[in-house]
């Protein structure tokens, strides 16, 4: 039997596996199928009692999983997939359906029910062929299920608990994994082993054979293929125009429009492993002819609703230094990563799979590996690493944002709720511990490294001889300035506790003009003299009253012709958009947002996301806010700064230059 031809039919198609199950991905990868993984958001909450038999539940769930992904991908204007595959595995014992256990007690209940008995494992599979016609999605759905009987030995309580504590049961139907430790519990298996693991590969290939090589006239009486037909030449695998075996002519496939409605009636058929067709009727319309289907899944809302999960997965993977390990030792299997970082295998595998689904990692049979973007931005040692900002987001911004509701009600920052202590001064809070200080400095350094070039080149600054970067932290912008303007002497002015910790952030072995660091508090202490003052991401930290104090100090020191350069996210006048194309922040972290925007979000989302979320970010932790161009202009003009020019960089920070007259 030649196996590859049926799968070869999928070679030129965009195939999507609508499943987060690593086992399904592995089974299909192992046979050389190329596909994308887009886990389904369909919640497995169908009413079990409404199904006459357990397999019907599995088939319908598989179908809904695949439909959700097909619709979502179409709605999001991603290229509509050609084929979407969904699957659902359940365990059935005494007519009861067991899915994945919710906790250890649940796993114990499940395994106790299976103990010493035979049970059935059903996997329902749905294969949806999609076509986009006049921007409407048309679908043809084929489904089937496979049953495998499994018998457990008589197992002691002790053994069951030992198995449960291994962590293996938690993400598996029935609470066991036959392919790993769970195999030790099993006395016999009757049927397809891979069906138990999560995907009935043999039946799947037969189904493809039926679809792509429908029976010819002379053997039409044999409805089913008992084996996968062989194809002699490679050319036969292509989907040429002339192909006569188009699956759409196959009567087993039911036709649906984008709402998942069967266009040719509501009778839903399914074929079991012994070829018996079973069926039930899906009510498609009520008596008035009105569709009873709920409205289409609002994918944008769902994406925003769940957006925090993606953020948190990224933050935790960074915090655990998974990307660092993969950069130096990858590709690695989940178990090796778990051993390296001292985490559970089952938890680590889930996190890695989530990261793979989010486009952060590549998953191959050799294991997980970083994408190029991750190597550049998420490993801690990269030149343009965002790692510092991500750790700051995880440890500091996340707890603050969980108190957003109180921040909105009270109109003030939430440090007391998030960290159990009253906020004094923004930076005193960050700097109260050595760890907090370094984390915050690393965060600021990350963003400054990424934005320094844009800020330094937004205007021609070559006429200035000396510059003072107030609150310039690690000197990342200052170093960029001295590189671009070799005649410019730059002084970084920041709090003593910052200056004491800058050595870690200084580049080694680079021969650039030196930057001078001076310590002091820009509200209280004398400022160094300069003909260009710089405030990069400073004004947004403070309310107007404090800004007036600072600007009047700077203004008093400026001679006519001296200038002030302000780098901030400038909002448009209606405060409905950031004034630039790249989004500042989708949820809690602007650093993560760049990556998420690149990797996960579509263009539409990028354009609609607003920097106003950054203003919420300021609300939960500071007394400041993001401002529009005219708001900055008004503040600056009150202190004698005129000729205010605003340059929208198209990157995270915009730049304002004004001159003291
Ligand atoms: C009995 C058994 C099950 N499983 C796994 O159990 C999950 C079932 O859950 P599902 O809902 O069908 O899939 P999922 O993992 O939630 O993914 P999704 O398709 O996204 O819903 C799948 O993973 C299967 O491999 C094993 O790995 N080994 C076994 O012996």
Q: Which residues are catalytic?
A: 88
DSSP string, 635-652: HHHTTTEEEEEEE--SSS
Are 71 and 204 in a shared domain?
A: yes
Can you give the pLDDT at residue 556? 96
Residue 236 has pLDDT above 90, yes or no: no
Which H, E and C letters describe 413-438, residue by residue?
CCHHHHHCCCCCCHHHHHCCCHHHHH
Range from 13-17, 245-249, 311-315, 425-429 carrying the lowest mean pLDDT: 245-249
Are 201 and 318 in a shared domain?
A: no
Residue 200 has pLDDT above 60, yes or no: yes
For position 337, which CATH number holds? 1.10.10.10
Does residue 639 sit within a domain?
A: yes
User: How close is the Cα of 614 to the center of ligand 1, in Å?
Assistant: 39
Residue 274 has pLDDT above 80, yes or no: no
Residue scoring higher pLDDT (601 or 516): 516
Token pair 């009636």 in the structure block, residue: 265
User: How many Å apart are CA 574 and CA 337, to the nearest integer?
Assistant: 48
Ligand 1 pocket, residue 492 CB under 6 Å: no
Q: Which residues contact 231 (CB under 8 A, 6 or more apart)?
A: 2, 5, 8, 213, 237
- CA-closest candidate to residue 562, choices 535, 529, 522, 523: 529
Can you give the pLDDT at residue 607? 33
User: How close is the Cα of 170 to the center of ligand 1, in Å?
Assistant: 10
Going by alpha carbons, the residue nearest to atom 11 of ligand 1 is 88
Highest mean pLDDT among 43-47, 68-72, 347-351, 595-599: 347-351
Can you give the pLDDT at residue 419? 84
In a 10 Å sphere around its CB, with 0-12 CB exposed, 13-18 middle and 19+ buried, how is residue 259 labelled?
middle
Going by alpha carbons, the residue nearest to atom 6 of ligand 1 is 172
Taking a C-beta distance cutoff of 8 angstroms, is the pair 113, 106 a contact? Answer: no
Can you give the pLDDT at residue 599? 39
Taking the CA atoms of 228, 231, 237 and 241 in sequence, report the sign of the dihedral they define: negative
Are 511 and 574 in a shared domain?
A: yes
Taking a C-beta distance cutoff of 8 angstroms, is the pair 567, 654 a contact? Answer: yes
Joined together, the tokens standing for residue 60 give 């319908």
Greatest alpha-carbon span in the chain: 97
Are 423 and 474 in a shared domain?
A: yes
Residue 10 has pLDDT above 80, yes or no: yes
Can you give the pLDDT at residue 136? 84
Residue 265 has pLDDT above 50, yes or no: no
Can you give the pLDDT at residue 592? 41
Taking a C-beta distance cutoff of 8 angstroms, is the pair 387, 446 a contact? Answer: yes
Residue 2 has pLDDT above 80, yes or no: no
Determine how β-strand 136-152 pairs with β-strand 254-257. antiparallel
Domain boundary among 233, 251, 281: 281
How many residues would you count in the chain?
661
Average pLDDT, the chain: 82
Does residue 393 sit within a domain?
A: no
Does residue 181 sit within a domain?
A: no
Ligand 1 pocket, residue 150 CB under 6 Å: no
DSSP string, 396-416: IIHHHHTTHHHHHHHTS--HH
- CA-closest candidate to residue 353, choices 59, 21, 113, 82: 21
Token pair 């769930």 in the structure block, residue: 61
Mutate to test the pocket of ligand 1, among 41, 198, 199, 350 (most ligand atoms within 8 A of CB): 198
Range from 139-148, 376-385, 514-523 carrying the lowest mean pLDDT: 376-385
Using a pLDDT cut of 70, give the percent of the chain over it.
78
Give whole-number Cα distances, 578 to 389, 622, 628, in Å: 21, 20, 9
Highest mean pLDDT among 581-590, 598-607, 630-639: 630-639
* Helix or strand (DSSP H, E) at 124: strand 118-133
Using a pLDDT cut of 90, give the percent of the chain over it.
57
Can you give the pLDDT at residue 187? 96
Determine how β-strand 563-568 pairs with β-strand 654-660. antiparallel
Are 241 and 369 in a shared domain?
A: no
Domain boundary among 347, 367, 385: 385
Joined together, the tokens standing for residue 169 give 């049961």
Residue 433 has pLDDT above 80, yes or no: no
Residue 512's pLDDT band, with cuts at 50, 70 and 90, is: low
Are 441 and 380 in a shared domain?
A: no
Can you give the pLDDT at residue 415? 85
Q: Which residues contact 474 (CB under 8 A, 6 or more apart)?
A: 441, 444, 445, 448, 498, 502, 505, 506
Rounded to an integer, the average pLDDT of 240-255 is 38
Are 464 and 610 in a shared domain?
A: yes
Can you give the pLDDT at residue 7? 80
Going by alpha carbons, the residue nearest to atom 23 of ligand 1 is 21
Determine how β-strand 277-281 pairs with β-strand 267-271. antiparallel
Token pair 């990224």 in the structure block, residue: 314
Taking a C-beta distance cutoff of 8 angstroms, is the pair 547, 539 a contact? Answer: yes
User: How many Å apart are CA 89 and CA 91, to the nearest integer?
Assistant: 7
Which H, E and C letters describe 553-573, residue by residue?
HHHHHCCCCCEEEEEECCECC
Are 331 and 246 in a shared domain?
A: no
Going by alpha carbons, the residue nearest to atom 7 of ligand 1 is 172
CB count, 10 Å around CB of 541? 18
Q: Helical H runs in 434-543?
A: 434-457, 476-484, 496-499
Token pair 């295998």 in the structure block, residue: 345
Does residue 102 sit within a domain?
A: no
Does residue 459 sit within a domain?
A: yes
Going by alpha carbons, the residue nearest to atom 16 of ligand 1 is 21
User: How many Å apart are CA 622 and CA 617, to the nearest integer?
Assistant: 8
User: How close is the Cα of 198 to the center of ligand 1, in Å?
Assistant: 5
Highest mean pLDDT among 16-20, 221-225, 272-276: 16-20
CA angle 419, 420, 424 (to 5 degrees): 80
Residue 65 has pLDDT above 50, yes or no: yes
Can you give the pLDDT at residue 99? 97
Extract the runs of DSSP E, i.e. beta strands, from 531-602.
532-536, 563-568
Range from 382-386, 429-433, 580-584 carrying the lowest mean pLDDT: 580-584
Residue 204 has pLDDT above 70, yes or no: yes
Q: Which residues pair with 369 in a beta bridge?
A: 362
* Helix or strand (DSSP H, E) at 629: helix 629-637
Residue scoring higher pLDDT (92 or 609): 92
In a 10 Å sphere around its CB, with 0-12 CB exposed, 13-18 middle and 19+ buried, how is residue 27 labelled?
buried
Range from 8-12, 231-235, 303-307, 553-557 carrying the lowest mean pLDDT: 231-235
Are 251 and 381 in a shared domain?
A: no
Residue 1's pLDDT band, with cuts at 50, 70 and 90, is: very low
Residue 574's pLDDT band, with cuts at 50, 70 and 90, is: low
Can you give the pLDDT at residue 508? 72
For position 425, which CATH number holds? 3.40.50.150
User: Could you read off the pLDDT of 642-651 as tens digits, one per residue?
Assistant: 999 999 877 7
User: How close is the Cα of 21 to the center of ligand 1, in Å?
Assistant: 6
Are 366 and 515 in a shared domain?
A: no
Residue 423's pLDDT band, with cuts at 50, 70 and 90, is: low
Q: Helical H runs in 76-180?
A: 104-114, 157-165
In a 10 Å sphere around its CB, with 0-12 CB exposed, 13-18 middle and 19+ buried, how is residue 47 labelled?
exposed
Can you give the pLDDT at residue 292? 56
Report CA Rg, the chain: 30
Q: Which residues pair with 132 in a beta bridge?
A: 137
Residue 595 has pLDDT above 50, yes or no: no
Rounded to an integer, the average pLDDT of 398-418 is 91
Cα 632 from chain centroid (whole Å):
35
How many domains does the chain contain in total?
Answer: 3
Ligand 1 pocket, residue 20 CB under 6 Å: yes
Residue 26 has pLDDT above 70, yes or no: yes
Residue 279 has pLDDT above 90, yes or no: no
Taking a C-beta distance cutoff of 8 angstroms, is the pair 205, 125 a contact? Answer: no
User: How many Å apart are CA 138 and CA 115, to the nearest integer?
Assistant: 45
Cα 476 from chain centroid (whole Å):
29
Does residue 159 sit within a domain?
A: no
Range from 291-300, 319-328, 375-384, 581-590 carrying the lowest mean pLDDT: 581-590
Cα distance from N-terminal residue to C-terminal residue, the chain = 87
Q: What is the dihedral of CA 37, 41, 44, 45, to 10 degrees?
A: -170
Can you give the pLDDT at residue 276? 40
Residue 254 has pLDDT above 80, yes or no: no
Tell me whether the omega of the peptide bond preceding residue 340 falls within 30 degrees of 0, making it cis.
no
Per-residue DSSP letter, 300: H
DSSP string, 28-74: HHHTT---EE------S---GGGSSSHHHHHHHHHHHHHHHHHHHHH
Ligand 1 pocket, residue 25 CB under 6 Å: no
Residue 263 has pLDDT above 90, yes or no: no
Does residue 257 sit within a domain?
A: yes
ipTM of the complex: 0.99
Residue 450 has pLDDT above 50, yes or no: yes
User: Could you read off the pLDDT of 85-140 as tens digits, one per residue?
Assistant: 999 999 999 989 999 999 999 999 999 999 999 999 999 999 999 988 777 889 99
User: Could you read off the pLDDT of 138-161 as tens digits, one per residue?
Assistant: 999 999 999 999 999 999 999 999
User: How close is the Cα of 375 to the center of ligand 1, in Å?
Assistant: 31
Rounded to an integer, the average pLDDT of 199-214 is 90
For position 21, which CATH number holds? 3.90.950.10
Q: Specify the pTM.
A: 0.53
Can you give the pLDDT at residue 621? 84
Are 381 and 459 in a shared domain?
A: no
Can you give the pLDDT at residue 193? 97
Are 304 and 451 in a shared domain?
A: no
Highest mean pLDDT among 241-245, 422-426, 525-529: 525-529
Atom of ligand 1 nearest to the CA of 91: 1
Q: Which residues contact 613 (CB under 8 A, 6 or more apart)?
A: 584, 585, 586, 587
Can you give the pLDDT at residue 430? 64
Structural domain containing residue 349? 300-385
Taking a C-beta distance cutoff of 8 angstroms, is the pair 388, 397 a contact? Answer: no
Q: Which residues contact 111 (CB under 8 A, 6 or more apart)?
A: 155, 160, 163, 164, 169, 174, 175, 176, 185
User: Could you read off the pLDDT of 474-503 as tens digits, one per residue?
Assistant: 999 999 999 999 999 999 999 998 999 888
Can you give the pLDDT at residue 256? 52
Does residue 562 sit within a domain?
A: yes
């Amino acid at each position: 039997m030649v196996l590859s031809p049926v799968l070869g039919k999928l070679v030129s198609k965009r195939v999507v596996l609508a499943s987060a199950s690593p086992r399904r991905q592995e089974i299909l990868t192992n046979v050389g199928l190329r596909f994308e993984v887009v886990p389904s958001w369909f919640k497995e909450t169908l009413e079990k009692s409404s199904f006459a038999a357990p397999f019907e539940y599995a088939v319908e769930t598989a179908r809904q999983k695949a439909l959700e992904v097909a619709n979502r991908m179409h709605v999001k204007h991603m290229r509509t997939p050609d084929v979407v595959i969904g699957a659902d595995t359940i365990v059935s014992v005494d007519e009861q359906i067991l899915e994945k256990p919710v906790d250890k007690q649940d796993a114990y209940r499940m395994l106790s029910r299976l103990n010493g008995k035979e049970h059935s494992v059903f996997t329902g599979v749905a294969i949806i062929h999609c076509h986009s016609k006049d921007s409407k999605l048309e679908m043809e759905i084929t489904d089937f299920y496979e049953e495998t009987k499994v018998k457990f030995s008589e197992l002691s309580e002790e053994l069951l608990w030992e198995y449960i504590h291994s962590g293996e049961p938690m993400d598996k139907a029935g609470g066991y994994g036959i392919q790993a430790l769970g195999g030790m519990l099993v006395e016999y298996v009757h049927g397809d082993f891979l069906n138990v693991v999560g995907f009935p590969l043999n039946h799947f290939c037969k189904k493809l054979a039926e679809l792509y090589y429908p029976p010819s006239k002379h053997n039409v009486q044999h409805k089913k293929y008992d084996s996968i037909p062989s194809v002699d030449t490679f050319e036969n695998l292509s989907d040429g125009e002339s192909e006569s075996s188009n699956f759409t002519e196959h009567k087993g496939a039911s036709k649906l429009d984008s709402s998942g409605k069967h266009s040719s009636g509501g009778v839903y058929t399914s074929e079991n492993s012994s070829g018996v067709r079973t069926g039930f009727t899906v009510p498609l319309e009520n008596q008035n002819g009105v569709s009873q289907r709920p409205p289409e899944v609002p994918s944008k809302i769902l994406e925003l609703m769940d957006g925090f999960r993606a953020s948190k997965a990224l933050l935790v993977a960074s915090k655990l230094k998974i990307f660092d390990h993969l950069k130096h030792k990858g590709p690695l299997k989940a178990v090796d990563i778990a051993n390296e970082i001292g985490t559970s295998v089952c938890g680590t595998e889930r996190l890695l799979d989530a990261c793979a689904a989010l486009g952060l990692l590549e998953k191959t049979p050799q294991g997980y590996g970083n994408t190029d973007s991750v190597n550049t931005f998420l490993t801690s040692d990269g030149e343009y690493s965002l790692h510092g900002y991500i750790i700051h987001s995880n440890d500091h911004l996340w707890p603050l944002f969980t108190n957003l509701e109180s921040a909105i009600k009270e109109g003030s920052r939430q440090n007391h709720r998030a960290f159990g202590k009253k906020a004094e001064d923004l930076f005193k809070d960050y700097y109260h511990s050595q760890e907090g200080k370094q984390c915050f400095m690393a965060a600021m350094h990350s963003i400054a490294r990424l934005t320094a070039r844009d800020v330094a080149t937004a205007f021609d600054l070559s006429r200035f001889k000396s510059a003072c970067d107030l609150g310039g932290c690690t000197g990342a912008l200052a170093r960029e300035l001295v590189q671009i303007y070799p005649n410019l002497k730059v002084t970084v002015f920041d709090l003593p506790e910052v200056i004491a910790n800058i050595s870690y952030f200084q580049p080694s072995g680079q021969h650039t003009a030196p930057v001078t660091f001076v310590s002091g508090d820009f509200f209280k202490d004398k400022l160094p003299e300069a003909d260009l003052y710089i405030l990069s991401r400073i004004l947004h930290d403070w309310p107007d009253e404090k800004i007036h104090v600072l600007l009047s100090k700077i203004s008093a020191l400026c001679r006519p012709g001296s200038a002030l350069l302000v780098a901030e996210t400038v909002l448009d006048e209606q405060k409905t958009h950031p004034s630039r194309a790249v989004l500042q922040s989708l949820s809690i972290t602007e650093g993560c947002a760049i990556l998420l925007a690149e990797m996960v979000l579509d263009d539409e989302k990028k354009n609609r996301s607003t920097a106003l979320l950054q203003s919420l970010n300021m609300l939960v932790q500071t007394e400041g806010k993001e401002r529009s161009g005219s708001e900055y202009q008004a503040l600056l003009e009150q202190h004698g700064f005129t000729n205010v020019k605003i340059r929208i960089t198209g990157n995270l920070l915009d730049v304002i230059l004004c001159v003291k007259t």
